[in-house]
Amino acid sequence: GQQLNQSPQSMFIQEGEDVSMNCTSSSIFNTWLWYKQDPGEGPVLLIALYKAGELTSNGRLTAQFGITRKDSFLNISASIPSDVGIYFCAGLGSSNTGKLIFGQGTTLQVKP
């Protein structure tokens, strides 16, 4: 099935560092979403982006919907140990099934 290209696959950083991850696609999306999955839990929505060029923040998280509608990035500033988990991007196209297309995920580990 169709998937988004998410990078990097994994990151191992020091507490306090900033983190950046991104997703690209060959298809246009109308909505971009970023989820975080804590170990052993289901993914939880962090940020939703609905308009090309939109830049949205949620605490230390900032995400942008690319102008071309084919990409998005997520930044985490001043990382802390509880940022550990898997981050997924997801895109929603124009089909009426409501089916999301997911990236492969970025696994983040934070060293205290």
Partner 1 sequence: DVKVTQSSRYLVKRTGEKVFLECVQDMDHENMFWYRQDPGLGLRLIYFSYDVKMKEKGDIPEGYSVSREKKERFSLILESASTNQTSMYLCASSFAGFGYTFGSGTRLTVV
Distances (CA, A) of 32 to 12, 28, 63, 97, 110: 25, 10, 9, 16, 25
Closer by beta carbon to partner 1, 35 or else 73: 35
Task: Please report, as a single letter, which amino acid is at residue 17.
Answer: E
Options 28, 55, 99, 109; binder of partner 1; rule CB under 8 A: 99
What whole-number distance in Å separates Cα of residue 92 and Cα of residue 77? 26
- Write the CB contacts of 51 (distance below 8 Å, at least 6 apart in sequence): 65
Closer by beta carbon to partner 1, 54 or else 78: 54
Residues 25-84 that bind partner 1 (CB under 8 A): 31, 33, 35, 40-45, 48
Q: Report the interface residues with partner 1, using CB under 8 A.
A: 1, 3, 31, 33, 35, 40-45, 48, 88, 90, 92, 96-100, 102-105
